[in-house]
Structure 1
Amino acid sequence: MIILSLQSGTSADGIDVAVVEAVTSGEALTPDLTLVSLWTRTLDWEPDLRSRILAYSDGEKLDAGAHTALTTDIGQGFATAARTAIAACGITPDLVVSHGQTVFHWVENGQALGTLQLGEPAWIAEATARPVLANLRAADIAAGGQGAPLMGLFDSAFFGPADDVASLNLGGIANLQILRPDSSALAFDTGPANVLIDASVADHTQGLHGFDRDGALAAEGTVNDAVLTALLQHPYLEQAAPKSTGRETFTLAVVRSAEEAAGVCLQLPDRVATLTRYTAITVANALRSAGPQVRTVVASGGGVRNPSLVRELADALAGDGVSLRTSDEVGIDPEFKESLLFAFLGFCSWHRIPVSLEQGIARVAGTFSPAPDGLTLPAPLRGISRLSLAAPPHTTGEHSAD
């Protein structure tokens, strides 16, 4: 089957689109699954819409009408991205999977109580004439899980049994997946990856720039140890795994409070250098607490394109004898790993395969919006035996500047 995957991360720096072929082989009811990336691209959000997304995510109050307009506009943005992909690659999908745009992840006392991803999927179904799977996190939360991070589902299937490997995704928020010998994973958010860096750059440049391109600001700046110490007092960092969070927990107010506690107001390069090390230390500390046996971390996400962040991470992990690799070394494009994750979830839900983020909780993820001519699901499967990736004869991948 052909699956079109749509997602925009917590940084809202673009819509990642991937057209993926899911090929099965072997046992009919528990097949081996191979995912083949046929076409990938990151499409920019319309600037005003991106500004509205980030403002709402950062706490701006919207009435019901404005909220409705925002989720409609986001849904139409995803629909346009899906149409663009279909026209560009000439392949019509069997299913579209839309993660939507996360604007809030509700956690109290360590328990996830709800999550909100905007982008009305009916617009995508209407634009593509294909069924759409969306609302991927809610079932797990309703069953008592965290609903995040979802990457543990992909890594458990791809890497299989392990006792010394973890994966790390560096989006707006950083999440770790510590693999286990039983092919499950302990998956949790460690704290910020790029979200505070991006917000600081955007704030300083009044939105002209949105991230530390090539880690240049961090390389120019000097880490302020007093501010770093204050940042490391954040209460989320003390919570035991599994746990989840979002950009609403790590805002610029956190940074300003740390600078106030240290009695300084940092220039942008020094702030970015400090926040870059903050990400590295929080990841290393989380890994030490939850997976002391890990010796290799495989990193993906936009953060691996930041040499300063990668260098800080490698240094922080090396102190515990842990080596850092990037996912392209194991055949996964770091910027489109999440796209493969959502294609994988789409295959599972299409075939009614329950997925489990935590031991004891397994649910079929997401809800379907039918195509205009209806929805017909295939016979269910019991599960998959193995997940692998393969490249097509000619791979087309394009990325935006962000």
Structure 2
Amino acid sequence: MRVIGLMSGTSYDAIDAAAADLDLDGDCLTLTPLGLISRGYDEGLRSRLAAALPPADTTLAEVCRLDTEIGRAFAAAAVEADRELCDGQAELVASHGQTVYHWVADGQVHGTLQIGRPAWIAEATGLPVVADFRPRDIAAGGQGAPLVSLVDRMWLRGRPGAPAALNLGGIANITAPDGTAFDTGPANALLDAAVSEATDGRLAYDADGDLAARGAVHEPLLARLLAEPYYALPAPKTTGKELFHLPYLRTALRGFEALAPEDVVATLTLLTARTVADAVRSVRATEVIASGGGTRNPALMAALRAELGGGVALRTSDELGMPSAAKEAYAFAVLGFLTLHGLPGTDPVSTGARHASVLGSLTPGRPGAPWPRPVRASEGPVRLVVDGVGHGGR
């Protein structure tokens, strides 16, 4: 089955559309990458989205407008991916949507909201669309994140040692060797906020880690940031820009206003590396397979490698055949495929839910479009092979 996975993460800088051929044979699901299209949000839309996110106030009218306009933007990306990557032969779209709020209180997730109405995608492509993945796991008592953990476990199954999968987006999340999964804290969220603030919005992120490389870590600021209670919470746990946002950073910087922007960015880079490395050590991983935008930041990767030390190997998912920039979009393509076949897309070990769940809601495509035969849960995949790059074992 040819599936398009759509993803926009907590950095909300672009919509990634990754296309894959997915073939289920017994307990093995083979993913053949067909390519990635990444399209930035229109600057006006991105600015309005940023202005509506917590802790800012917004209105239901603006939420409705954003839901519609982001849905149209996702639809345009899906149409382009079908045309350019699938030769018009795509059979399914799996859309994560754009997270705007993750309701966490006292360590429990009570709700989540992803916008980007899937009806716009179904109308534009004529294809069935699986969307709204997270709420079902939350309804079953889970964190609703990180949902890619099931895909990580299938993909890394049989790999030697104790591998952990790491995603460095706006927020960093990890899938541990035993299947435990959680958000470690900010990856790029505070870094991006600091860079944008320091440059009056001219720069959105620390390109190539240049600012961090020119700065020096400020230990008192680092100590203040590391005192954040979230880091001490037990897994499973999730967080987002509801906590790690620009006002949070401004509060942390009180009394340190004289710090050069480069020093702030260097300190935040080490904060990410330190909290990720602490999480890796806590799950006793011997290898970290990293993906996401943070892997393109040499300063962050160098800091993480130094924090991990020589006993833990750090490599990117590209080295294992999974394109780093597209990994989350491919993961949601897999989750959409599982949903369409009636198969669970969560692992309770990872999210803390009471049971595994079939995820998402389904928006039908054009009239008369065929539906796949549901597969019994016992027939579902336990291994994921990426274009012939597998690790053996079960």
1:266 to 250, 259, 263: 259
Residue aligning to 1:339: 329
Matched, 1:313 2:311: no
Amino acid at match of 1:4: I
Q: Would you say the 8 A contact 1:259–1:265 is kept in 2?
A: no
CA distance in 2, matches of 1:112, 1:46: 31
TM-superposed deviation, 1:357: 3.3
1:179-328 maps to which residues of 2 (within 5 A)? 179-180=177-178, 185-260=179-254, 263-289=256-282, 291-292=283-284, 294-318=285-309, 321-328=311-318
Using the TM superposition, give the Cα deviation of residue 133 of structure 1 relative to its aligned residue in structure 2, in angstroms. 0.5
Query: Separation in 2 of the partners of 1:50 and 1:336?
Result: 21
- 2:169 paired with 1:171: yes
User: Distance between the aligned counterparts of 2:127 and 2:262, measured in 1?
Assistant: 47
Partner of 1:101: 98
Change (3 A) 1:270 1:263: closer
Taking the aligned partners of 1:48 and 1:38, their CA distance within structure 2 comes to 31
User: Which residue identity is paired with 2:84?
Assistant: A
Partner residue, 2:4: 4
Instruction: Provide the aligned length of Structure 1 versus Structure 2.
Output: 380
Query: Given the alignment, which residue of 38, 46, 68 partners 1:50?
Result: 46
Measure the CA separation in 2 of the matches of 1:210 and 1:247. 16
Residues 1:112 and 2:109 aligned together: yes
CA drift of 1:374 comes to: 5.7
- Return the alpha-carbon distance in structure 1 between the equivalents of residues 24 and 13 of structure 2: 33
Match of 1:370 in 2: 364
Judging changes above 3 Å, is the alpha-carbon distance between structure 1 residues 235 and 136 closer, same or farther for their aligned structure 2 residues?
A: same
The question of whether the paired residues in 2 share the 8 Å contact of 1:187 and 1:357 is answered with no
Percent of aligned pairs sharing the same letter: 46
- Secondary structure at the aligned position of 1:356 is classed as coil
Measured in 1, the distance between the counterparts of 2:89 and 2:56 equals 38
CA distance in 1, matches of 2:388, 2:203: 34
Segment drifting more, 9-18 vs 198-207? 198-207
Inter-partner Cα distance in structure 2 for 1:387 and 1:217:
38
- Deviation, structure 1 residue 375: 6.1
- Label 1:72 to 1:288 Cα distance change in 2 as closer, same or farther (>3 A): same
Change (3 A) 1:391 1:38: farther
Question: Partner residue of 2:19?
Answer: 19
- Name the CA distance, whole Å, in 2 between partners of 1:21 and 1:353: 18
Contact 2:30 2:388 in 1 (8 A): no
Give the TM-score, by structure 1 length.
Answer: 0.91
Is the contact between residue 161 and residue 179 of structure 1 (CA under 8 Å) also seen in structure 2?
no
Deviation string for 1:179-204 (max 9, x for gaps)?
A: 22xxxx11100000001111111122
- Secondary structure of the corresponding residue to residue 67 of structure 1: helix
**Counterpart contact for 1:231–1:254, Cα < 8 Å:** no
Instruction: Note if contact 1:151-1:187 (Cα within 8 Å) is conserved in structure 2.
Output: no
Maintained 8 Å contact 2:137/2:359 = yes
| In structure 2, C-alpha distance between the alignment counterparts of 1:266 and 1:192, rounded to whole Å | 21
> Amino acid of the residue matched to residue 82 of structure 2?
I
1:342-357 map, 5 Å: 342-357=332-347
1:387 matches 2:384: yes
SS of structure 2 residue aligned to 1:179 = coil
Contact 1:276 1:308 in 2 (8 A): yes
Q: Distance in 2 between matches of 1:58 and 1:103?
A: 8
Structure 2 residue 132 is the aligned partner of structure 1 residue 124: no
Residue 399 of structure 1 corresponds to: none
CA contact (8 A) 1:166 1:177 kept: yes
After TM superposition, the structure 1 stretch with the greater mean CA deviation from structure 2, 87-96 or 148-157, is 87-96
- Residue by residue over 1:39-87, the C-alpha shift from the partner in whole angstroms, topping out at 9 and shown as x without a partner, is 2111111111111112222433222211111100000010111112222
| Structure 2 segments unaligned to the other structure (5+ residues) | 390-394
Equivalent-residue separation in structure 2 for 1:223 and 1:148 (angstroms): 31
Q: Over the residues paired in the alignment, what is the CA RMSD in angstroms?
A: 1.7
- Unpaired runs of 5+ residues, structure 1, are 393-402
